[in-house]
């Protein structure tokens, strides 16, 4: 079973620099490398009969009877543990990212236990495949996943996000068959690490909050609420552990202080707010930097020179060797609908890669992003893994090369995107898809070639830094 430990970032349309909605997540794993790819799933490829690989849960054919939409995805290319589609945007410009592994506590597990996968239930393996092709709005995602969780149950705690051009909803599963969801205010952002994240909740505000129909009664019946007033879902259903203080909370704390230097607080704070507001409008570059971060300019930076060896290992960073795929799903409001969906995508450790803004109104994906399960340097997943592992040996030297590479790559992709937006704004149907396929290929080749150049520069710089050397003048 694939273990995923991710960091989610959500940005409302009035909080973003260009008026788009953005939902982002780094898809992280364990010690074993999990190659991730990029795929377009056509309606005729969507399963009509579905059975999970991990839990062997069968989905009733009636729940797959709707006409599916085309959508993009970032699957596990091995397929050994199922599809794990991770994230994408469908042809109605609705986006979904799933899932963020989150925490729970013994009180709710004693009331509504998670399923044993031997007995069925759904998990991260399944949610995007069973949900995204049937959505016509962000809130459709809440309804669909809520229905699936209540009917089939789940064997793990998960968070997931949905967006359209106007709204973002974030949903968290609760126990085996319950769930909660909150609409993200347009002017707000969210940082959601591997904990139960939704805090303040209002059962009397259906425009902004949603939950299993019996959840309020369940909380009362089983005395689950530790607070004297109101409903804080993190207090009721989540955790507040030493692991949270070292593994989860510091990631949120660091990015909060990047988006708002007045945020303050301490890395281990357990009650950092779910809904937050930045001191500026947030860009794609801000999100990528956040997803690549490792506590720079603090004693906790593994690459820094401020802390002791112990401090450098105190907190889990966001940018880490276990980043295997990271995406920013952007629905834009300043272009025609056929151009609005953009899936920014990067493979490998975020500290050493670059995002590529792929149009999602397409029928194919670039060859270099069609990852192979085995090591293959013609595929950017494996190329990025190589540059990251070499870069990690001397970050002081290689980090500057990577910064220049990323700045160059993002600028070139922005230029291709701007040119394509202008050239394709009046195109429709197959003509538009052809133009966007070509633009995606051009961006993929540009970043792939830049990454090859980066690797060459790293080899040249590293030649004189090798330990295995001997010079009569030494």
Domain parsing of the chain, residue ranges: 7-372
Pick from 461, 414, 420: nearest CA to 438: 420
**Catalytic pick among 6, 41, 196, 219:** 6
pLDDT value of residue 191: 98
Token pair 């990454």 is at which residue?
A: 451
Q: The pTM is what?
A: 0.98
pLDDT value of residue 3: 47
For the question of residue 6 being annotated catalytic, the response is yes
pLDDT value of residue 471: 80
pLDDT value of residue 145: 98
Check: CATH 3.60.60.10 for 7-372? Answer: yes
Q: Provide block-wise average pLDDT over 10 residues at a time, the chain (474 residues).
A: 76 98 96 96 97 98 97 96 97 98 97 98 98 98 98 98 98 98 98 98 98 98 98 98 97 98 97 98 98 98 96 97 98 98 98 98 98 98 98 96 98 98 98 98 98 98 92 72
pLDDT value of residue 472: 77
Beta bridge partner(s), residue 158: 101
């Amino acid at each position: 079973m694939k273990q995923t430990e991710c960091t989610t970032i959500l940005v409302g349309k009035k909080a973003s620099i260009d008026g788009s909605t953005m939902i982002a997540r780094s898809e992280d794993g364990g010690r074993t490398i999990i190659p991730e790819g990029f795929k377009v799933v056509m309606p005729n490829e969507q399963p009509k009969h579905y059975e999970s690989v991990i839990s062997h849960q069968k989905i009733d054919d009636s729940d797959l009877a709707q006409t599916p939409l085309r959508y993009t995805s970032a699957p596990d290319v091995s397929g050994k543990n199922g599809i794990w589609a991770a994230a994408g945007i469908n042809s109605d410009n609705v986006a979904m990212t799933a899932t963020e592994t989150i925490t729970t506590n013994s009180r709710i597990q004693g009331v509504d236990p998670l399923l044993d996968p031997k007995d069925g239930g759904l998990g991260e393996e399944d949610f995007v495949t069973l949900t995204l092709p049937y959505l016509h709005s962000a809130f459709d995602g809440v309804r669909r996943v809520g229905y699936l969780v209540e009917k089939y149950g789940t064997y793990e705690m998960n968070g997931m996000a949905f967006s359209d051009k106007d709204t973002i909803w974030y949903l968290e599963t609760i126990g085996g068959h319950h769930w909660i969801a909150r609409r993200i205010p347009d002017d707000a952002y969210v940082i959601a690490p591997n904990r139960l994240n939704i805090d303040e909740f209002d059962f009397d505000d259906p425009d902004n909050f949603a939950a299993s129909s019996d959840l309020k009664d369940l909380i009362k019946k089983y005395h689950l609420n530790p607070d004297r007033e109101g409903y804080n879902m993190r207090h009721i259903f989540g955790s507040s552990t030493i692991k949270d203080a070292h593994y989860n909370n510091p990631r949120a704390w660091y990015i909060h202080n990047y988006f708002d230097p007045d945020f303050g607080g301490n890395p281990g704070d357990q009650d950092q707010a779910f809904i937050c507001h930045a001191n500026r409008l947030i860009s794609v570059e801000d999100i990528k930097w956040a997803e690549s971060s490792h506590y720079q300019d603090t004693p906790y930076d593994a690459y820094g020179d401020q802390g002791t060896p112990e401090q450098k290992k105190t907190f889990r960073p966001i940018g880490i060797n276990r980043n295997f795929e990271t995406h920013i799903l952007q629905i834009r409001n300043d272009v025609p609908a056929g151009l609005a969906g953009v899936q920014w995508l990067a493979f490998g450790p975020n500290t050493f890669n670059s995002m590529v803004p792929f149009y999602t109104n397409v029928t194919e994906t670039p060859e270099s992003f069609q990852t192979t399960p085995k090591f293959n340097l013609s595929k950017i997943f494996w190329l990025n893994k190589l540059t990251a592992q070499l870069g990690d040996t001397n970050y002081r030297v290689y980090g500057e090369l990577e910064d220049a590479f990323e700045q160059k790559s993002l600028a070139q992709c922005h230029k291709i995107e701007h040119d394509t937006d202008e050239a394709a704004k009046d195109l429709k149907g197959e003509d538009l898809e052809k133009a966007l396929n070509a633009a995606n290929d051009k961006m993929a080749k540009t970043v792939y070639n830049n990454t090859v150049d980066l690797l060459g520069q790293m080899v040249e710089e590293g030649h004189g830094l090798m330990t295995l050397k001997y010079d009569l003048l030494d």
